[in-house]
Structure 1
Amino acid sequence: MNSGPAIAVDERGGDMRFVVSGRWTAPHAAEVERLAAMLLEEARGGGSVRIDISEIGRLDTLGAWVLDRTRHELGDRGQRADFVGARPEHQTLLDEIAYRGFQEPSRAKNLHIVDFLVDVGRTVVEVGKDFVRGVSFLGEVVAALVVVLFNPRRFRFPALVHQLEHIAFRGVPIIALISFLVGAIVAQQGIFQLQRFGATPFVVDLVGILILRELAVLLTSIMIAGRSGSAFTAEIGSMKMREEVDALRVMGLDPVQVLIVPRVLALIIGLPLLTFLSMMSALLGGGLVAWVYGGISPEIFLARLQGAIVLSTFLVGLIKAPFMALVIGLIASLEGLAVQGSAESLGRQVTSSVVKSIFMVIVVDGLFAMFFAAIDY
């Protein structure tokens, strides 16, 4: 009884009786599987089957699972199979093992166009939810700003100065360099195209209007969204993961006032300053290329620039900056507060913050373009 697993066949009339004996345990897994396959083969074509397990010396989970699986496979072939002679402990194990097949549920076959429309619909719903969350969060920030205005002692001025240093002061080198290069590239391409028509001097008009109205503020906003917006999301998200945001609430402090308001105000103040710097750097790069590549001296460049632009051209770019800063700050902060308790969630929200911020910056720029075209400034 304490030997390895074995099966004896006792065929009587139309019924078959299999006497199972020995040790049906994990160390004999290979032999157990072989005997189970032999039982299935011997019972093929017969009537009902009885599996006598009274002679089993030892039965563990693996042996019980194989026996119960064999009984189900006999039933799937239309042969009734039952266990007989089971000791109480063996019957309990067989009841608990409860073999069942794991079959992948059949999926309804949909047309690709249906799946595409489902994805589009789901995306539209998510965009709607994001918009509602953004408007609600904007209300929270405005309410916190009102509280701070009526009680300035609750505002954290050192945090504002700290954020201004990170956003504006430390962002000067990269903004100036990128803007200088973009201005130089725009001027070079403009000269290359305009010289075919003998209109090289008009590159000054092209560079001046394009940079002051669109490129400077758009380029600065995208750079800030990728640089400072991602930093905001990572900082707030890390605090959310370490439950520091909950700790602020327990201490009686409003996380929006403590964490969000200084960052948003720093963006609203710093982005117009960086936009102005971007304008000057891009004009410098464009003027240098126009001098070297197009033969337009600095005196002629400045004189023609004065005739090409007016004050409103300069103001259009600066007016957009605070609104883009507000959008970047809200999205970055909201995505940071949405971080869950894993590093994967933090990375996902930082990526989402940058993508959404850049997208909304371009949308805001388009809305302003339509607005200024409508008012015929």
Structure 2
Amino acid sequence: MNARTAPNIFVREGDGISTLVVEGDWTAMSIAGLSGHVLSPSNLSFSSDFGNLGRIDSAGALAILTLAPNAAFTADLPANLADLFALVGSAMADRDVPPIKTPPFHVRLGQKVYRAVQEIGASARFLGQLEVALMKSLAHPKRMRLIALASSIQKAGFDALPLIAIMTFFIGAVVALIGSDLLKTLGASELVVELVGISVLREFGVLIPAILLAGRSASTFAAQIGAMRMNQETQAMKVMGIDLFDALVVPRVLALLVIMPLLAIVAMLAGLAGGLVVSWGILDVSPTYFAERLSAAVDIRHFWVGMAKVPVLAIVIALAGCRHGLSVRGDVEDLGGRVTVAVVQALFAIILLDAAFAILFNVLEI
């Protein structure tokens, strides 16, 4: 390491020309204790000599400009030093930094649309790769990693079971409570059974587990795979010839495809139980009458309409988590951003697909 040299600055006069000479290191450490008077060359036209300048930082530039205010205006100043002196000089003069120009609205809108199209394209490519990997796994079951599949089922499904049951129980209770007040005013309080049954079987029994899994599983998948990329475990797997889709993506997708129907059924039962409790307590509807009216008035097709959404929502949740996990570049900030984007995209896709299913089933009169 180069030894530090003491900073020195003086004006050299010769042949009617004043030259500002700056020597040594001008850093925050080397200029400690430096003192001197303001140097003012005798000529308005003068040159500078930085040939023996060592290291310099912003603190050193500040010291030079304090001792020789005209240093930044010499014509023969090196470009890098001129930029440094201009930056420090602006701070000394307390000049406002020019505001960053915000692009026009149509430019910002176009940028957002372009990024959205890129995201859709990336998701479509990832979905295609996932389909190929799933077909290979189904054609060759030995490729499946059963331990990883069982672990994903445990973490993504069974650990979320109590929370999903509690949530849908109270949602069913709220639907029955609000519906009973409205139906009482219409003189049709017995229709609360149909209200609870249809809303839970078609919507809430599927939507609530999907939303909770988007928050739990999509973020978990993105964080787990992203952490592996940060630790370069995925690169090591590639070197060993391990397919990342077979090892990381397929087990998580299959886990949600296996466990989400069970979670949806539990959610439906819990939602109906919540509606039953409220109907029994407020409308004095006995459990026997509730069950009989439910089986007679609510067609089984509502159950199958709800269950038809389950595989699509499961794939969307796993797709968002795994894709953004594999997109982590290697720093913590990017990992946190990818986890957030995975959850947001999964939630957005769930609501959008649920609305699309509702329109489709309405058109088909199912």
TM range (shorter): 0.7 to 0.9
Residues 302-325 of structure 1, C-alpha deviations (whole Å, 9 max, x = no match): 222223311111100001001000
- Is contact 1:69–1:99 with CA below 8 Å preserved after alignment? no
Structure 1 portions without partners, runs of 5+: 83-93
- Does residue 1:339 correspond to 2:322, yes or no? no
Show the counterpart of 2:186: 197
- Does residue 1:35 correspond to 2:70, yes or no? no
- Is contact 1:61–1:97 with CA below 8 Å preserved after alignment? no
User: What does residue range 314-325 of structure 1 map to in structure 2 within 5 Å?
Assistant: 314-325=303-314
For 1:165, the aligned partner's letter is Q
Q: Which one of the candidate residues 98, 105, 108 is aligned to 2:81?
A: 98
SS in 2 for 1:119: helix
Show the counterpart of 1:85: none
Q: Post-superposition shift, 1:74? A: 7.1
Q: Which one of the candidate residues 236, 245, 266 is aligned to 2:255?
A: 266
Show the counterpart of 1:87: none
Show the counterpart of 1:125: 114
SS in 2 for 1:195: helix
- Is contact 1:163–1:266 with CA below 8 Å preserved after alignment? yes
- Is contact 2:65–2:71 with CA below 8 Å preserved after alignment? no
Pair 1:373–1:31, CA change in 2 (3 A): same
SS in 2 for 1:99: helix
Residues 329-377 of structure 1, C-alpha deviations (whole Å, 9 max, x = no match): 1111001101121222221111111111111011111111111111122
Pair 1:51–1:302, CA change in 2 (3 A): closer
- Does residue 1:226 correspond to 2:215, yes or no? yes
For 1:252, the aligned partner's letter is G
Pair 1:301–1:106, CA change in 2 (3 A): same
Q: Post-superposition shift, 1:292? A: 0.5
SS in 1 for 2:200: helix
Distance 2:343 2:60 in 1: 55
Pair 1:301–1:98, CA change in 2 (3 A): same
CA root-mean-square deviation: 3.7
For 2:356, the aligned partner's letter is L
- Does residue 1:149 correspond to 2:138, yes or no? yes
Show the counterpart of 1:247: 236
Q: Post-superposition shift, 1:24? A: 10
Distance 1:124 1:151 in 2: 40
- Does residue 1:308 correspond to 2:297, yes or no? yes
Structure 2 portions without partners, runs of 5+: 1-6, 91-95
Distance 1:123 1:237 in 2: 25
Q: Post-superposition shift, 1:117? A: 3.2
Show the counterpart of 2:3: none
- Is contact 1:225–1:357 with CA below 8 Å preserved after alignment? yes
Show the counterpart of 1:73: 70
For 1:196, the aligned partner's letter is T
Aligned structure 1 segments of 4 or more residues deviating by more than 4 angstroms: 4-10, 15-30, 49-53, 58-72, 94-97, 103-110
- Is contact 2:24–2:55 with CA below 8 Å preserved after alignment? no
Q: Post-superposition shift, 1:243? A: 1.3
For 2:38, the aligned partner's letter is L
Residues 167-225 of structure 1, C-alpha deviations (whole Å, 9 max, x = no match): 22222111111111111111111112222222222211111111111111011100111
For 2:45, the aligned partner's letter is S
SS in 2 for 1:132: helix
Distance 2:22 2:258 in 1: 84
For 2:346, the aligned partner's letter is S
For 2:287, the aligned partner's letter is P
For 2:81, the aligned partner's letter is A
For 1:296, the aligned partner's letter is V
Q: Post-superposition shift, 1:125? A: 1.2
Distance 2:298 2:354 in 1: 20
Distance 2:174 2:230 in 1: 43
SS in 2 for 1:120: helix
Q: Post-superposition shift, 1:149? A: 2.2
- Does residue 1:292 correspond to 2:281, yes or no? yes
Pair 1:68–1:300, CA change in 2 (3 A): closer
- Is contact 1:339–1:349 with CA below 8 Å preserved after alignment? yes
SS in 2 for 1:98: helix
For 1:145, the aligned partner's letter is L
**TM-score normalized with structure 2 length:** 0.81
- Is contact 1:327–1:360 with CA below 8 Å preserved after alignment? yes
For 2:276, the aligned partner's letter is G
Q: Post-superposition shift, 1:255? A: 0.8
Q: Post-superposition shift, 1:6? A: 9.2
Distance 1:333 1:19 in 2: 62
Pair 1:99–1:375, CA change in 2 (3 A): same
